[in-house]
Amino acid sequence: MDASSELRKLPKIDRLLDSDEAGRWVEREGRELVLGSLRLAVDEARLDVQQGLACPSEEAILARTRELLDLQTRPTLRPVINATGVVIHTNLGRAPLSEDALAAMARVARGYSNLEFDLLQGERGSRYAHCASLLAKLSGAEAALVVNNNAAAVMLALAALARGREAIVSRGQLVEIGGGFRIPDVMRESGASLVEVGTTNRTYARDFEAAITERTAALMVVHRSNFQMVGFTCDAGLDELAALSVARGLVLIDDLGSGTFLDTAPFGLAHEPTVQERVAAGADLVCFSGDKLLGGPQAGYLVGKRALIERLESFPLLRALRVDKATLAGIEATLRHYQRGEALSKVPVWRAISLGVDAAQARARAWMERLGQGGAHRDLQVVASESTVGGGSLPGLSLPTRVLSVGVKAPDEVARALRLGEPAVVGRIEEGRLVLDPRTVLPHEDDALIHAVQKVLTQHGVS
């Protein structure tokens, strides 16, 4: 094949730009973006010819231009079907929101709202009032405050209450959470001096007491969210530290990590300390996340003594940590589910955690039957497996489930194709097979999941 003659067949950019199809793209995406995509498509065709291939047709070059345009205009933040079985998947956006929360956020975001306006008095109000009373009632605390995440909650508490002074914490609780984020770093940035007590595996209340000086402002407890310590271990009890903090005039701050209003034990998991329990045990401030086990928008909650919450509300750092109107609307709607006792059925995280094995099996079997209709020779099985809660919650524990296991020659390639599809589907590989877990696939996503898997299996010759 004569490369020079093939190169002469490449269409001119102006000619491609004058085509009806390119004209429609220009109207939708703008001339510069279309022009750049056409040039990329022609450059790719030129490289193919130089490597000995025939010159692609004008239609093929326009088709490739369409693909390049789609890649450039597709949102980088996209919905994903989570078939991993990890309920609170940090990399996949943590907690999906309830329908009520989504509707509330859309209502408030669509127009103006009384974010910082007192409708009764007709004057400026506080954004922090919208969720505070509801959050306080649910937790049993005197008052509450919402910021943008739990790390911010801990930093605000330490900055406002212990800056320039000391905060005492057990050496065995100086945890690192996802992304290399470490509790000592948070404390350091707050301006509080960290005082470590005890040993890695055993810390007693007397260790805290011995470390108290005139510079001490707070005692701090940190939940080991993402790992377990077993064997010869001991932690100072929260009730012991509460009594010590009262006796010595200190503040007891409890970083609960994920935080939950519901007991996890009835679902076959270990008991995760609830927010209500920590408040009742005497913590002055309890800090926890809103987008993990609570199942709401990203937020950090602080609940506790009214005098301390008021100090936090007047601290200048709070302005940098505040949440917006849509988030507040979603938080309130999520908290209402708990208030009405409907969290298990309405909050997606709890609906997933409470999903029984029989329900998971029925759903996985329905997927298998639908996919089996697309190819008689497909290797499809419903098998026993384990799901995890994730999100730094209940480490080392799992929930029994039933999954759809798909046998393919190149499971990693099939998994990659699913991730890059529309919609994107993220599963997992177990024992060399692609696994799709019903626990984390939302009820309305079944059709989209089946369509995506059907398409990828067909593309990979699995029929």
d(CA 3, CA 9): 10
Are 151 and 186 contacting, i.e. CB atoms less than 8 angstroms apart? yes
Domain-wise residue ranges, the chain: 3-73, 80-89+351-459, 99-346
Tokens read off for 147: 């910021």
Residues 6+ apart with CB under 8 A from 98: 295, 333, 334, 337, 346, 347, 348
Question: H helices within 265-324, ranges in order?
Answer: 275-280, 306-313
Q: Which numeric CATH code is attached to 80-89+351-459? A: 3.90.1150.180
pLDDT confidence of residue 172: 84
Quick one: 274 exposed, middle or buried, by C-beta within 10 A (0-12, 13-18, 19+)? buried
d(CA 401, CA 362): 11
d(CA 151, CA 289): 9
**Per-residue pLDDT tens over the stretch 335-372:** 999 999 999 999 999 999 999 999 999 999 999 999 98
- Say which CATH architecture domain 99-346 belongs to: 3-Layer(aba) Sandwich (3.40)
If DSSP states are collapsed to H, E and C, what string results for 57-112? CHHHHHHHHHHHHHHHHCCCCCCEEECCCEEECHHHCCCCCCHHHHHHHHHHHHCC
d(CA 454, CA 360): 20
pLDDT confidence of residue 295: 97
Are 94 and 389 contacting, i.e. CB atoms less than 8 angstroms apart? no
Is the pLDDT at 463 greater than 70, yes or no?
no
One-letter amino acid at 265 equals A
**Per-residue pLDDT tens over the stretch 268-282:** 888 899 999 999 999
Quick one: 103 exposed, middle or buried, by C-beta within 10 A (0-12, 13-18, 19+)? middle
Quick one: 75 exposed, middle or buried, by C-beta within 10 A (0-12, 13-18, 19+)? exposed
pTM, rounded to two decimals: 0.88
What is the average pLDDT score of the chain?
92
More confident residue, 258 or 303: 303
d(CA 25, CA 224): 53
Is the pLDDT at 179 greater than 70, yes or no?
no
